[in-house]
A and B are shown apart, each in its own frame.
Chain A
Amino acid sequence: MNLDRRSFLKCAAACSAMAAAGSIFPGISFADWKKQEGASGMITWKKAPCRFCGTGCGVLVGVSGDRAVAVKGDPNCSVNKGLCCVKGYHSVQALYGADRITTAKVKRDGKMVEVPIKEALDIVAAKIKETIDKHGKNSVAIYGSGQWTIPDGYVASKLFKGCLGTNNVEANARLCMSSAVTGFMTSFGIDEPMGCYEDIDHANVFITWGNNMAEMHPVLFSRILANRKRRKDVEIIDFATRSTRSSQASDKSILFKPQTDLAVANAICHEIIRNNWVNWDFVNKHVSFHKGKTNIGYGLEDKFQFADQEEPLTFDQYKAFLDDYTPEKVEKISGVPARDIKYMAALYGDPIKKVTSFWCMGMNQHTRGTWINNLVYNIHLLVGKISTPGSGPFSLTGQPSACGTVREVGTLTHALPHGGVANAEDRAMAEKIWDLPAGSIDPKPTYHTVEMFRALDRGDIRFIWIQVTNPMVTLPKLKRYREGALKEDRFVVVSDVYPTPTTDVADVILPAAMWIEKEGLFGNSERRTQHWEQIVPPPGEAMSDTWQIIEVARRLGFEKQFPWSETEYIGKIWEEYRRFHEGPKHNMAPYTVLKERSGVQWPFVNGKETRWRFNPVYDPACDKGRDFHFYGQKDNRAWIWARPYEPAAESPDKEYNFWLNTGRVIEHWHTGSMTMRVPVLYNAVPSSYVEIHPDDAADLGVVNGEMVKIISRRGSVTMPASILGRGVPPRGQVFVPFFDERYLINEVTLDAFCPISKQPDYKKCAVKLEKA
């Protein structure tokens, strides 16, 4: 960074005045400082969404020359109002790790050698063609990410589903969000939250379901805490399987045994009905009752198939179903005292209180993930606390564009940018917009993520292109899938920014442009689409993932479908993609509007964003004259589902006597491939660890920092113990963050998944511990 003495002094002068102003006028903001600094020739500030979680905080990136040198929260972004978390403030340092991948590499005679990127792209295109010729169209696949930009995912879907005719398109959001999707689809017939972050400013009660928001969504949790401090009538209930920083900050911490959230949610509904806290007017007008199959399995075997079968219920039948879930009975299953269940039911049932429920991975990474999503919706629907400011169920996302790229673009095997591959009208729409002959898109979904990597292992898939994700750290039961990727006659292409265990199994590595090194768009948890322009140049030959796919598509002969120039392709792609969502239910903002604002919420109709869906006061898709309109389902009602408690796929027994839970820490983003290269973040948490209850540690004879071997039926990993650290599990449970590739905890986990959503359960399997 070049800064002359005089510029530095002027900057110091301005800072001193700001500090003085801040002490006299708390909360004062100088958002326009960026213009001043630009005029001084020091730092220019440009807007972008943070890329290190699903919250979608707006950041201003400070640029000097060609280098990003600073980050501050964007005070104009309604998500974070100028605040960032520790990852956000250090995010630009992730661009400049010493071992950044800047050139393409291909495997020759068992060794990776550098080649010009054009040559590598030639090889990728030729290999796709050769594999399809030899093994058929369903032998090639692409596996992306909730960190894919919207254009990345869109062109991937267009190439693979449209041009190549295979539905082998998946993204790692299958591992984090698909239960949320199937929860929405089964309860409301349409995906994504009805509310928005503004709910935080209106709610009186926040109940977090297995969700450590203090670390996973820290800016939103700060907003909750700020509201509690300001308004006095705000209460936070942390309902979880272990004590965390969120528990410490909450008014009440309630611990439940793994998997039994299903039973507790039903018990809350039982109590609401028993006490006649039901909002009958709402229920009679807007709700219908249903049940599905039970004993639905866990997906542990290859080619597992499941299709749910819906049957209507009456309210009385639903009420009778809940007879098995009295608080006293559920106390025995869940370990949650009946009085605490009644207390939570009373909060939901109080007609005066506005209640917002938050959840994320705890409910989604669950072998009954769809069911537990349904059950929390049931609670809100029974009391009519939904789709109004401050009252609603809110499924948070983990990744910056799990919603924007995976759920909205439809980068999952069954989906299209509008609707699904099984629907003839949806296929016809895609073929028309993509300028493809009718019948180009296959009506049959192929492989969800776990099954996709099983297919790679079996040899049903021979070519896979992995972008913006690190499955050789994140897949459950990892050993099988790593060995599968390394088998003879498998071809793995990896586009990434740093070396990872996934680039270790690659035949071709493509250097990728990261985040602000390219123009892009993300979509966050609250239906907010966020655009950023290219702010700094990518290093070496690094190229955006979108452009890599376009280059390969053209080499395969699809110039007509990918005609855009390198200077305007993002805007053109956005405007083409937007056609899929035309109409009041999902209309997206034009490119020109997105360029100007720090995000725009859809449906964007007549220049207006929609904050609460299904409520005619806010949602233009609702029929006029109704108080609510749940237009996603065929009966124009929201659906309450009778879903029972069923046990986990694997529970502790005499030999494997501990529950293993895995997750994240605030300092590191997912597998740590970026944040472990940021010195401040690395030094804050330099290694993973296993959290153990102090009594269990004493039984093992282990003290803090000593090595513990965690053994399951799949594998083992040895790592340091953390006793009474930031998280404390109950006796009989351990917790391991998965960010550290030196301690691959997914060697141990189980690849069981929710049969409806196909999302694996990373929160529950059985292990035993040994002092190493």
Chain B
Amino acid sequence: MPIFAYLAIPVEGGKDTLAAELTALPHCEVIPADNKDILILVTDAPDEKAERNLQNKLQKISSLQSLSMTFGCSDQPEKERGDHES
């Protein structure tokens, strides 16, 4: 159940398009800056598989110039994590 936050930089003039495209993706919340061409993307995929699918979709967005991760957390309970390790 990973949660990530990114600074999302659009291609020139593509802020609104990028905001619309990111918002349309599942597990994505977008916070646009109101005075700069930059967005914050917070992703909240339910599991690793959904996260991988989301990453694939993000790579295909043409209005996205770059993504810089600022936060990442798997948010899995200790017991669950231990089960995986064993």
A interface, CB within 8 angstroms of B: 5-6, 9-10, 12-14, 16-21, 24-25, 27-33, 36, 39-40, 75
Dominant secondary structure of chain B at its interface with chain A: strand
Distance A232 CA – B59 CA, assembled complex (angstroms): 47
Q: How far is the CB of A28 from chain B (nearest CB, A)?
A: 5
B31 within 8 A of A: yes
Interface string of B30-49 (1 = CB under 8 A from A): 11111110101110100000
Please give me the residue from chain B that is nearest to A76 by CB atom.
B34
Q: How far is the CA of A33 from the CA of B73 in the complex (A)?
A: 21
Which residues of B, 1-22, contact A by the 8 Å Cβ criterion?
1, 3-7
B70 at the interface (CB under 8 A from A): yes
Min CB gap A40→B, angstroms = 7
Would you list which residues of chain B between 25 and 75 have a CB under 8 Å from chain A?
29-36, 38, 40-42, 44, 68, 70-71, 73, 75
Query: Interface SS of chain A: helix, strand, loop or mixed?
Result: helix
Q: Are A10 and B44 in contact (CB under 8 A)?
A: yes
* Complex Cα gap A32–B40 (Å): 11
B5 contact from A5, A17, A27, A29, Cβ within 8 A: A17
Cβ-defined contact, A30 with B40, below 8 A: yes
Report yes or no: A25 in contact with B36, Cβ–Cβ below 8 A.
yes
Looking at the complex, which one of A20, A24, A31, A40 makes contact with B34 (CB distance below 8 Å)? A31
**Residue among B5, B35, B36 with max Cβ neighbours from chain A (10 Å):** B5
Determine the chain A residues whose CB is within 8 A of the CB of B70 once the complex forms.
Answer: 13, 16-17, 19-20
Query: Across the interface, do A30 and B31 meet the contact criterion of CB distance under 8 Å?
Result: yes
A81 to B: closest C-beta gap in Å: 11
Residue of A nearest to B43 (CB): A13
Alpha-carbon distance A27/B35, docked complex (angstroms) = 8
- Is the beta-carbon distance between B73 and A13 smaller than 8 angstroms? yes
Smallest CB–CB gap between B1 and chain A, Å? 8
Instruction: Give the contacting residue for B31; candidates A5, A14, A16, A27; CB below 8 A.
Output: A14
A17–B29 CB distance below 8 A: no
Nearest CB in chain A: distance from B46 CB, A: 11
| Contact status A30-B33, CB under 8 Å | yes
Complex: chain A residue closest to B37, CB-CB:
A25
A10 neighbours in B (Cβ, 8 Å): 3, 29, 42, 44
Residues of A within 8 A of B68 (CB): 20
Given A5-B75, A20-B70, A21-B33, the answer on whether A13 and B38 have CB atoms closer than 8 Å is no
Q: List 5 A-B contacts (CB under 8 A).
A: A14-B42, A17-B71, A20-B7, A21-B38, A32-B32
Q: Determine the residue in chain B with the shortest Cβ distance to A25.
A: B36
For the complex, give the distance between the alpha carbons of A389 and B33 in Å: 30
Enumerate chain B residues within 8 angstroms of A9, measured Cβ to Cβ: 3, 73, 75
Question: Given A9-B3, A21-B40, is A29 in contact with B75 using a C-beta cutoff of 8 Å?
Answer: no
**Chain B, residue nearest A35 (CB):** B31
Given A9-B75, A13-B3, A17-B7: A36 touches B31 (CB 8 Å cut-off): yes
Q: Which A residue's beta carbon lies closest to that of B35?
A: A29
Instruction: Say how far A117's CB is from chain B's closest CB, in angstroms.
Output: 44
